[in-house]
Amino acid sequence: NIYTHLIGFLLFAFMTFYIVHEPPTPLAFGQHQVDMLRATVAQRAATLGNAVGLPAMREGLHSVSERVHSMQEGLSEDMHWIQDGMHTIFDPHALQELYAKAVSDSLCWPTPRWPAYVYMCGAMLCLLLSSACHLLGCCQPHISQMVWRLDYAGIAILIVASFYPAVFYGFMCQPYLLAFYLASTTLLGVGAVAVSLMDRFQAREWRLVRAFMFTALGLYGIVPVMHQWRMLSSIPQVRLALQYDMLMGATYVSGAMIYAFRVPERFFPGYFDLFFHGHQIFHVAVVAGAWIHLHAVKLMLEWRDASGGCALPVTHDVVSGVFAQMRDLGHDLFSVEEVVSRLQAMAHMHVHGAAGGAGPAPGAPPA
């Protein structure tokens, strides 16, 4: 029991180091994908004219044309105001900020890594606490009671941490759903940790209660998983990740049931006192389930990286297949800098086109 989770801790520590240093998956963007983003960027850029006051300046130009002959004394004031506004439009620094805002609303690369790190830290904390608790559980009663509480708290932390990357990467483009699922999961986890630290919870007769509480906390994950399935089931990469998560859930639940019902030692007393008893099988199931979920996390992270966050989700194949198809068709992959540069150029042309369309009405003085 000590070494199963100690080995698991070292395994996840290595994988955390690997993920930190692993370069992000490239964008699956060529010229075709950038052209598809044109409408999205155009919608964002359309708001730029309002941001710098183009409609108001257009009305000002119209006002000048009507009042030029009858209100000569007010002409100078209006023209100065319009010139100041046009200076704002063509200020390169102001435009750069507006372009950056329009592009950042559509493109995010690389995808935030912190949800994956939350999961890795939760897994390492759970496994390390479990290993330490089984090492110190044979000490004096007051020490034993304290360490077993930490063991149960570590299980709750692992379950909650497992939700974070799955929920974040699945609902990244739905901020309200994202906030709801993360908040509800965190609150349930805090409640489970609080119950785990109670004195009564440590009693032997509460064995089944402990097992079913952690099982119920894990089963809550079915809610966001089914929601993701309904929203994203057409995406192969997401389907594969959800299948991994279903396997993870089955592994966790099976291990918990084996532990709760003391299989196989209840059927063969004395034969499994040292090896392969239910508690050890549960430990192996925890490490295996956490490892399976890690692969699901990597799939979702890879998909979001290749899709530019919420910009243009890869929908017709797994990411590796998309890259292979683009290479076979002779499409060059753009770096994020190239994509941003092209999108900025589109926004620049849109804004200047809007400004050019707001020319003075007939009869107005020349610019």
* 318 Ramachandran zone, left/alpha/beta (phi>0; psi -120 to 50): beta
Q: Tell me the CA end-to-end span of the chain in Å, nearest whole number.
A: 83
Tell me the C-alpha distance between 58 and 204, whole Å.
Answer: 79
**Nearest-10 Cα torsion for 71, 72, 75, 77:** -90
**Nearest-10 Cα torsion for 263, 267, 272, 277:** 0
If you search the block for the tokens 């209006």, which residue do you land on? 78
Q: Is 279 annotated as a binding residue?
A: yes
Q: Is 134 annotated as a binding residue?
A: yes
Indicate the angle between helix axes 38-51 and 336-357, nearest 10 degrees: 50
Question: Binding site: residue ranges?
Answer: 134, 279, 283
Question: Binding site for Zn(2+): residue ranges?
Answer: 134, 279, 283
